[in-house]
Amino acid sequence: MRELRLWILALAWLPLAAPAQEPGTALKDDVLRAEPYADAKPLGDIRKGASLTILDRATGWYQVEAGSARGWMRMLSVRRGAAGQASAAAEVGGVAALSTGRAGTGQIVSTTGVRGLSEEELKSARFDEAQLRKAEGFSVSKADAKTFAAKGPLKARKFDYLPVPQQTAGGGSEGGRR
């Protein structure tokens, strides 16, 4: 019985675990390191566009396999999915997958009885006072939110806003003014 409960606990944690053995692609040039730390031993350079296999995640790092090397890379330097592979819509699962029946039209026609949010539908939307009041009714106070956070337990910390970054070599130039 206790063992069963442990199993259930373990299963509950599964969604958090990094996707095991998932293909990935380097989004920019970066360094593969022996451990998930900035000052860990560098194992080699990863070039933008390189194919990877994502094995694990530790906060802001992915453990990846690149060729024969295995190490850690910054999570934000990696896109999930193989190079050139853009569509994996089916993997979203659940609700989102329902809407892919008309992929390519750019619109979701409400096959499921749910109204959509295409550009046209947004334009023709009518003000709904009753819904708005309902929404406002769910609003909570700062104090309520604070109590809720403490139960997390979440602890507020100081952290400075980020400056606008300089472009990196791998960042591409399309990000600038068009």
* Comparison of 43 and 83: residue with beta carbon closer to another protein: 83
**Nearest approach, Cβ of residue 163 and another protein (Å):** 7
CA dist 105 and 116 (Å) reads: 13
The structure tokens 């024969």 sit at 68
**Nearest approach, Cβ of residue 73 and another protein (Å):** 11
Query: Quick one: DSSP state of residue 40?
Result: S
* Comparison of 66 and 77: residue with beta carbon closer to another protein: 77
* Comparison of 20 and 106: residue with beta carbon closer to another protein: 106
**Nearest approach, Cβ of residue 145 and another protein (Å):** 4
Give the burial string for 130-151 (b: 16+ CB within 10 Å, else e). Answer: eeeeeeeeeeeeeeeeeeeeee
* Comparison of 4 and 90: residue with beta carbon closer to another protein: 90
For residue 11, which phi and psi values (nearest 5 degrees)? -65, -35
Of 124, 119, 93, nearest in space to 107 by CA: 119
Beta strand 61-66 with 69-74 is antiparallel
